Structure 1
Amino acid sequence: MHRRLAWGWLAIVTLLVALLCTLLPKARLDSSVLSLLPASSLGKIPPQIENGFLQRLDRQMMWMVSPGNTADPAAAQWWQSQLQQQPFLQNVQGPMDAKGQQEWGKFYFEHRNGLVDNQTRSRLQNGGEAQAQWVLSQLYSAFSGVSGKELANDPLMLVRGSQLALQQTASQMRLQNGWLVARDKQGRYWYLLHGELKGSSFDMQQGRAAVEQLRVLHNNLKQHFPQAEVMSRGTLFYSDYASQQAKHDVSTLGLATVIGVLLLVLAVFRSVRPLLLCATSVAIGALAGTAITLLCFGELHLMTLVMSMSIVGVSADYTLYYLTERMVHGGENSPIESLRKVLPALLLALATTAIAYLIMILAPFPGIRQLAVFAASGLIASCLTVVCWYPFAVRGLPVRPVPCSRLLTAWLDAWQHKKAVRIGVPLALLVMSLVGIASLKINDDIASFQALPKDLVQEEQAITALTGQGMDQKWFVVYGDTAEQTLQRLEKLAPELDAAQKSKAIGSYRMIPLASLEQQQADLRLLSEAAPVLQKRLAESGITVSAPNLQQMAVTPDIWQKSVISSGWRLLWLSLPDGKSGALVPVSGVYNSAALGEIAAKIPGVSWVDRKVMFNELFSHFRSLLAGLLAAAVVVIALSYVLRLGVKRGLLNVVPSLLSLGGGLAALAFSGHALNLFSLLALVLVLGIGINYTLFFSNPRGTPMTSLLAISVALLTTLFTLGMLVFSQTQAIASFGIVLSCGIFCAFLTAPLALSTSGHGEGKREK
């Protein structure tokens, strides 16, 4: 019968290898920390609109080049020429050349009746008297420079009005020889360039190569222009930073983990075969985890790999428990008999740990769900490897005396006969837990989960100060079934935002300078009413002009996007193949995010997006939900103990689980970290993994000395793996590791509570 199980498991492992070989070439390794966030984060917005805008925003790149205190664009021109040669960039733009400026002016002139700005529109109200006064003021101004040709071709001066309105709504930058130029407080000139990545900013390999190449270009720029400086902005730089941190964790911490586990197994068993058996079960677990995760998700997150280091120690526990039983009792029992002794504890341990990981599927974060699937499938595969194969693989394994038997016996004796230990240790942990929990702070701020590099943050702040445009990801998303519907909804939103600006709810906003066809028709009627008034007022001033051209000059989003005047605005408009469209309205200086949410709720097809606030609220919600699930899990475990062992022993057996949770939280507080969703995810694993130690001790077929040796080795292997996470450069992973390692250590310390006071004799006989 057992041989059939072994051959059956071999067939399944072979299928997993084939599955992995099929999926791996098509798989994508994601390095974005944002992938740990909910897949849908922008509320009710159609997914196609949401994904389209997010992909565009992720690809955007911006550079500010300064030659120094002189207004010489040579350094910026050199930088632009180098960027245009890079294969990973597209649409790199700097200055607008003379031809572009001519096309700009030509388009505005040919479509002037369809590009009426808000200020001109307000002047055209009530018959156009205000517009006539404004035209006269421009004619008699010493600084306006109105030519006779301009007045003859555009008597209403619609082109001039549009240009002035754009200048007023533009950023702090000014046009100089075709370049957008800003000047900082030190008097340095900064020239603006922008472009797009050809691929995703979260492509780890392309991102690393792009960042390295840009660093090389920066060094070359310094050689040609020693006084020049470059500042960069883009999701690429943050994504590369995150991927390099995770890569460091996988390579450095993963190597330390493997070496530590190998040395420990060699030291305990003093044989290469147990080492190979541990490596085999861990490898098959990793194989199954990777294959099943790729089958379910089609990709693997780099942070999933980092956090999955936690299952290396856990999956080795099953092998170590069985090998320990064989090392101590191999002379008395056959391999199958040894398996029967440990099988109930193994299966219970597997079930509790797998359930603990699978609970994390409830979290709405793709990266965390990947971790749950990876870990649960990997642990099941590791345990099945032990159960199906190892009774055949351990034949002839040397039987050795229990290492450190005096120390282990003394520890068992202290727990069973010394109240100072049996009561004192749990009591000390309880006091420590209560003190730590009392000082624990809650922080759901997503910004605290990962420390950003100071140089990137400083450049970001400097670019924001120069351009007046930040990257705080606060905007309205307006969408509709047609472009016309989207534009009409934008027009309904605009007066609400003007009111919010006056009430200091926001500082400013940017909206594409494009009107709906309905509004363009209304503007044409206003122009028709204003034209006679203007001609009359000019005639009274001795100026004769011909009647303005009042033909319809319709501008649709398609025409607008293909024209030169949409340069710098195209990012804010999205057209889909099915005719649906969307528009972004970035908002800066937000003082009342809730009020903006109320504005969006009043207008169909408008959503307010404050991603930081949204994520913080989401993290808070699921933290509370997970805390409830954790409490429910403890109650279920307590009931199962009571039903299996009776009220007294059942409640006593749940004490290690409670103290492990309290110890993990106390360690979090004492280390200066705050409680967040990731901390509670770690507590779920503390509960699932720590309960294994109690189960090993409460196994009626096992012996205390064997159980203590097994969980001691298991603890050390787990600490080698989970403890390594403490040294991660990503704060969320570091706090995850602190809670896990300290919580599981507390579970180990108190696990002997599961021993009955009559079990000490067996421990002595083992000695």
Structure 2
Amino acid sequence: MEAHRTFAVSRTWWLRAAWLVLALAAALYCAWRFAGPSPLQTNLLALLPATEADPVAEEAVDRLAGALGNRAVFVVSSDDAVHARAAARQLGATLAASGAFASVTAQLPPFDLSRIARFYLPYRFNLLTPADRRSLAGGATTLHDALLQRLYGLPAAGLAAPLADDPFGWLQHWLGSLPLATSNLTIEDGLLVSHRGSSTGVLVVATLRGSAYETDVQRAVLAAVTQSEARLKTTFPDVTLARTGAVFYAEAARRASEREMHAIGIGSLVGIALLMLWVFRSPRLIVLGFVSTALGILCALATTLLVFGKLHLLTLVFGASLIGEAVDYSIQYFVVYLGAGQAWEPRRGAREVAPALMVALATSLLGYAILTFAPFPALKQIACFAMAGIAIAFASVLWLLPSLLVRPARRAPRTLFTVAASMLTKWQALLVGRRTLRVWIVAALVTLVAVPGWLKLASDDDIHLLIQRDPSLVAQERIVTEAVGVDNSSQFFVVRGESPERVLERAEALATKLGALTDASGTPGTPLVSGWQSVASFVPSEKQQQADRALIAAHVFQDPAALRAMLAEAGFRDEVTNTWLAAYAQSSAAALHIDAWLAEPWSQPFRHLWLGRSKSTPDAFAAVVIPQGVAAANEAVLAATAHAVPGVSFVDKAASVSRLFGAWRVDSAIWLAGALLLVFVLLMLRYGVRGGIATGLPVLIAIGVTLAVFGYVHVRFTLFNSLALMLVLGVGANYAVFLREGAVRAPAQLGAVWTGVLLSAATTLLSFGLLGMSSMPALKSFGATLSLGIMVSVLLAPLGIPATQRRAT
């Protein structure tokens, strides 16, 4: 006997030591990960799956987002133009002095515009605008008119080419067609200025020191902007500041998620502690329950970081709500502990509660496992976090709590258990009476009432269900967009080819088709889009350059004597004519290439249009063409235009994700049906056919009632409602299992078991119900669906009690 007692004590200490080592290992790993660069992920795009069939197109989405995401754009506005300019200079100086940015541009550096003309000058005989191509085809008369227009016409506003180098104005026309100023901005006193009515806005652009999604970068930028804005208000009270950029949206999302995580976590902890204290009247049990839960969450955090490397804040917010579910297992163990009284034996108590916990764990894991099939990275993280957390909580109840809860309970809430037993008896009588047939009658009545709600159910697959942008930032972005005059559109064309030349050829073909499109709903001849940005506007393909040179050769240089005579008659000296003709002869091998254009400093604002060699597809090159004025009315036409040009695809990330939402919403209904079938099979294997059906019926009815309520109250059904129903299945099935196992294990203690079930449901409802505080519609959908489904599941859980136990109560 003494040897057995010594072995038991030794085993108890070894178990405690093993769990302590596990907790320390998980804590140290998490501390190590957070000690370096923050593993927290605030990039909203990271929530989105790959939606484009072409990997080059998906790469273009990422590259374009990265190129534009490292900028912060400000517009300083005032009705006093002098104040607006002075305030913009002050803002640029304070932002630059803050050290939060790699560069800040308010006052434009001196730039010689003639540099652009000098760059294109060696290729001038290869560059023609569409109008000049048509004009040259008109013959010598048209050529003569072009020469007179160049000599006696009004000077061109903008980039100019020397008359001696460009007697017919072809280069000047080409320079004038460059989309260098496709916005409302003009350069005034070295500033980029926009005038809208009586208001003057001045643009200030800053480049970040790191990724917009790094916490340190966000905090530094926000501190610098807050301080600079305060100084502006002091110096120029009439000035307003609007800002936009990925860094501001990411910072707002991070702050909102952290706030929600703290609110949900603290609210759950306090609420659960008070509930457990009211029921168990033992601070010791509360501490042990939270030890089990804390182990689950700590190990879940470490596991998720180990598997994914990053942790999205959405996962942390959802993880905070996992407290209510993870504590369920310890609650069921405490119910057995209190019911045993002085006859308590820890290992036997664990064996008694193990079957119920194992069935409950299996159903919960099944519900979360289905989330891993969803294409959204954040949902996969949530599934991993939840599965690891509840698995560790389950294991700690069976193998840690018995080593900590050794002494019998001094007192048990017998009065509460008696009241609970009485309530259960009355509720059972109302639900099923003493005849099993009434179970089916209840199910039939619920179905009859639910059918009209099901028929009214409508769906919504909008991407904004996943991402909710801060309204104040959206309003400021609108101000910036209106001031600049360029759409901040997420729709664009991706042009790919096996060489840079093929990409440029296809971009030109696309531009030709876009130029031919007209708006059928408006004035005849109105363009369908207001314009587009394309690298082919700056660098024509070699094929087009050769065609333009051939056109010039055929219509201008085929008769050198006549050409000389025309230029002499116009007053050109012989040496000027000779130099120009020699330049033409020497430029026969000259061709403009994309690399030369990319090397020019002034091409920097447009380099994002050229993606170059693809990383995902090494034999492919790509570029983007960004149309302006894309709307729902013309989007289908633009997509059809892309299909008409080989190697071109129209990318609309938001629409693609929304379509994926819809497809997965439908697929998830099939997955839910399959999961229901698996749960019923699992329950039948445990309780027999009738017992399995009776035990699974509450959660089946709960799912049906939830869908019906959404239909009646006109809440649109989304993918996230559907995925939440998976969790209703996994979590809601536990209550009937707990009640049935408790009834079979100890019929006399059914009041205690029912108390534990209600307490488990209350803690879970408290945690998941707090998700309704989230600013993210996806989490709100999760919270509403889970709360309603769990509530119905626990109310109908007595349907699963075996008939013999129902008669006994």
TM-score w.r.t. structure 1 length? Answer: 0.90
Residues 42, 611 of structure 1: 8 Å contact kept: no
How far off is 1:313 after superposition?
Answer: 0.9
SS at match of 2:509: helix
User: Is 1:376 aligned to 2:395, yes or no?
Assistant: no
- Relative to structure 2, which stretch is displaced further, 411-420 or 259-268? 411-420
How far off is 1:378 after superposition?
Answer: 0.9
Letter in 2 for 1:730: M
Letter in 1 for 2:790: I
Residues 668, 739 of structure 1: 8 Å contact kept: no
User: Is 1:389 aligned to 2:413, yes or no?
Assistant: no
- Relative to structure 2, which stretch is displaced further, 34-43 or 471-480? 34-43
User: Is 1:528 aligned to 2:553, yes or no?
Assistant: yes
C-alpha distance in 1, partners of 2:794/2:336? 19
Match of 1:405 in 2: 417
Superposed CA deviations along residues 302-345 of structure 1, whole A, max 9, x for unmatched, are: 01000112321111000010011111123334222222221111
Match of 1:418 in 2: 430
C-alpha distance in 2, partners of 1:88/1:132? 58
Point out where structure 2 has 5 or more consecutive residues left out of the alignment.
1-6, 521-526
User: Is 1:510 aligned to 2:547, yes or no?
Assistant: no
SS at match of 2:605: coil
Match of 1:467 in 2: 484
Indicate which of 447, 450, 463 corresponds to 1:446.
Answer: 463
SS at match of 2:716: coil
Match of 2:509 in 1: 492
Alignment of 1:128-527 (within 5 A): 130=142, 133-142=145-154, 144=156, 150-166=162-178, 170-184=182-196, 186-398=197-409, 399-402=411-414, 404-419=416-431, 430=447, 433-434=450-451, 436-501=453-518, 506-512=529-535, 513-527=538-552
Residues 495, 647 of structure 2: 8 Å contact kept: yes
- Relative to structure 2, which stretch is displaced further, 244-253 or 494-503? 494-503
Match of 1:608 in 2: 650
How far off is 1:613 after superposition?
Answer: 1.0
C-alpha distance in 2, partners of 1:353/1:175? 63
- Relative to structure 2, which stretch is displaced further, 106-115 or 403-412? 106-115
- Relative to structure 2, which stretch is displaced further, 542-551 or 423-432? 423-432
How far off is 1:534 after superposition?
Answer: 6.5
Match of 1:586 in 2: 626
How far off is 1:189 after superposition?
Answer: 2.2
- Relative to structure 2, which stretch is displaced further, 198-207 or 504-513? 504-513
How far off is 1:250 after superposition?
Answer: 0.8
C-alpha distance in 1, partners of 2:480/2:448? 51
Residues 73, 205 of structure 2: 8 Å contact kept: yes
C-alpha distance in 1, partners of 2:429/2:148? 103
SS at match of 1:566: helix
C-alpha distance in 2, partners of 1:177/1:159? 28
User: Is 1:570 aligned to 2:612, yes or no?
Assistant: no
C-alpha distance in 2, partners of 1:515/1:409? 84
User: Is 1:739 aligned to 2:750, yes or no?
Assistant: no
Superposed CA deviations along residues 2-29 of structure 1, whole A, max 9, x for unmatched, are: 9477766566555544544554445510
Residues 44, 607 of structure 1: 8 Å contact kept: no
Indicate which of 31, 47, 52 corresponds to 2:63.
Answer: 52
Superposed CA deviations along residues 494-537 of structure 1, whole A, max 9, x for unmatched, are: 22222335666544322122223343333333333454486655
Residues 458, 714 of structure 2: 8 Å contact kept: no
- Relative to structure 2, which stretch is displaced further, 219-228 or 684-693? 219-228
Residues 63, 231 of structure 1: 8 Å contact kept: yes
Residues 150, 169 of structure 2: 8 Å contact kept: no
C-alpha distance in 2, partners of 1:569/1:146? 19
Point out where structure 1 has 5 or more consecutive residues left out of the alignment.
none
SS at match of 1:85: helix
How far off is 1:400 after superposition?
Answer: 0.8
C-alpha distance in 2, partners of 1:178/1:570? 23
User: Is 1:683 aligned to 2:725, yes or no?
Assistant: yes
User: Is 1:754 aligned to 2:800, yes or no?
Assistant: yes
User: Is 1:93 aligned to 2:105, yes or no?
Assistant: yes
- Change in CA separation of 1:62 and 1:17 when aligned onto 2, cut-off 3 Å: closer
User: Is 1:107 aligned to 2:153, yes or no?
Assistant: no
Letter in 1 for 2:269: V
How far off is 1:628 after superposition?
Answer: 0.8
C-alpha distance in 2, partners of 1:246/1:147? 50
How far off is 1:360 after superposition?
Answer: 0.2
Identity fraction in percent: 29
C-alpha distance in 2, partners of 1:148/1:715? 77
How far off is 1:747 after superposition?
Answer: 0.5
C-alpha distance in 1, partners of 2:808/2:157? 104
- Change in CA separation of 1:222 and 1:530 when aligned onto 2, cut-off 3 Å: farther
How far off is 1:688 after superposition?
Answer: 0.2
- Change in CA separation of 1:473 and 1:46 when aligned onto 2, cut-off 3 Å: closer
Residues 67, 75 of structure 1: 8 Å contact kept: no
Letter in 2 for 1:757: A
Residues 95, 224 of structure 2: 8 Å contact kept: no
Residues 667, 738 of structure 1: 8 Å contact kept: no
Superposed CA deviations along residues 445-498 of structure 1, whole A, max 9, x for unmatched, are: 112444433332223233333333122300012234543333233223222222
User: Is 1:634 aligned to 2:676, yes or no?
Assistant: yes
TM-score w.r.t. structure 2 length? Answer: 0.86
SS at match of 1:38: coil
- Relative to structure 2, which stretch is displaced further, 239-248 or 499-508? 499-508
- Relative to structure 2, which stretch is displaced further, 45-54 or 265-274? 45-54
- Change in CA separation of 1:514 and 1:206 when aligned onto 2, cut-off 3 Å: same
How far off is 1:245 after superposition?
Answer: 1.5
Residues 668, 735 of structure 1: 8 Å contact kept: no
C-alpha distance in 2, partners of 1:569/1:405? 73
SS at match of 1:583: strand
- Change in CA separation of 1:469 and 1:501 when aligned onto 2, cut-off 3 Å: farther
User: Is 1:75 aligned to 2:119, yes or no?
Assistant: no
- Change in CA separation of 1:284 and 1:59 when aligned onto 2, cut-off 3 Å: same
Residues 171, 467 of structure 1: 8 Å contact kept: yes
C-alpha distance in 2, partners of 1:24/1:395? 37
Residues 80, 199 of structure 2: 8 Å contact kept: yes
Match of 1:716 in 2: 762
C-alpha distance in 1, partners of 2:213/2:284? 42
Superposed CA deviations along residues 638-659 of structure 1, whole A, max 9, x for unmatched, are: 3444454444443333321122
Residues 114, 160 of structure 2: 8 Å contact kept: no
Superposed CA deviations along residues 48-76 of structure 1, whole A, max 9, x for unmatched, are: 55433221122233222334243673333
Superposed CA deviations along residues 223-257 of structure 1, whole A, max 9, x for unmatched, are: 33333333222122222222221111012222111
SS at match of 1:150: coil
- Change in CA separation of 1:449 and 1:18 when aligned onto 2, cut-off 3 Å: closer
Residues 357, 685 of structure 1: 8 Å contact kept: yes
Match of 2:773 in 1: 727
Indicate which of 726, 745, 748 corresponds to 1:701.
Answer: 745
How far off is 1:108 after superposition?
Answer: 3.9
- Change in CA separation of 1:467 and 1:124 when aligned onto 2, cut-off 3 Å: farther
Letter in 1 for 2:595: D
C-alpha distance in 2, partners of 1:727/1:236? 24
How far off is 1:392 after superposition?
Answer: 2.0
Match of 2:76 in 1: 65
- Relative to structure 2, which stretch is displaced further, 660-669 or 405-414? 660-669
C-alpha distance in 2, partners of 1:149/1:457? 43
C-alpha distance in 2, partners of 1:483/1:237? 36
SS at match of 2:295: helix
C-alpha distance in 1, partners of 2:265/2:144? 75
SS at match of 2:745: coil
Superposed CA deviations along residues 583-608 of structure 1, whole A, max 9, x for unmatched, are: 22112333343443343344444321
- Change in CA separation of 1:702 and 1:450 when aligned onto 2, cut-off 3 Å: farther
